Structure 1
């Protein structure tokens, strides 16, 4: 258990940050799921639109420190490739 004032404050901050980061991760997953659902339905236009909305959300996660840059880039790349394959 935290003893000093500083460590107690740190514990409070970590708890608050954890909630915020959890919400951000959940939001990112939701956007990714929307793209995957559009891909599964075979609707190219909807998938492309969903990807266009999901990409900035993923990159925002990178800026906020929730997701690693390479992870986000990899996810965007793979989703984009799957969306592109729908059109072919």
Structure 2
């Protein structure tokens, strides 16, 4: 089954939106409770590294959904990591 380029970008955009916004509740919860004890620093560092590589990949292939999703996700993850380091 072939999809048009627009359909493909819309699917990518929807996936990007969902996977990016999923980090917002975690960040808001940390800001509200100031509790990060149950978050694994190693896991979040590894995930941030992977998201950073996806961002580079998106830049290399010129895919706006990949670039946008990973840039916003990386910002949210870096925010969560900074809160983890601050609140322990």
Q: TM-score, normalised by structure 1?
A: 0.51
Q: CA deviation at 1:45?
A: 2.0
- Structure 1 or 2: more helix by fraction: 1
Q: Is the Cα contact below 8 Å between 1:24 and 1:61 reproduced in 2?
A: no
Q: Please identify, of 31-40 and 49-58, the stretch whose mean Cα deviation from structure 2 is larger.
A: 49-58
Root mean square deviation of aligned Cα: 3.7
What secondary structure is seen at the aligned counterpart in 2 of 1:67? helix
Q: Please identify, of 53-62 and 22-31, the stretch whose mean Cα deviation from structure 2 is larger.
A: 53-62
**Which segments of 5 or more consecutive residues in structure 1 lack a partner in the other structure?**
1-8
Q: Which runs of 4+ in 1 moved over 6 A?
A: none
Paired residues in the alignment total 77
Q: TM-score, normalised by structure 2?
A: 0.51
Asked which structure has the greater RCO (Cα within 8 Å, sep 6+), the reply is 2
**Which segments of 5 or more consecutive residues in structure 2 lack a partner in the other structure?**
59-65
Q: Which residue of 2 aligns with 1:6?
A: none
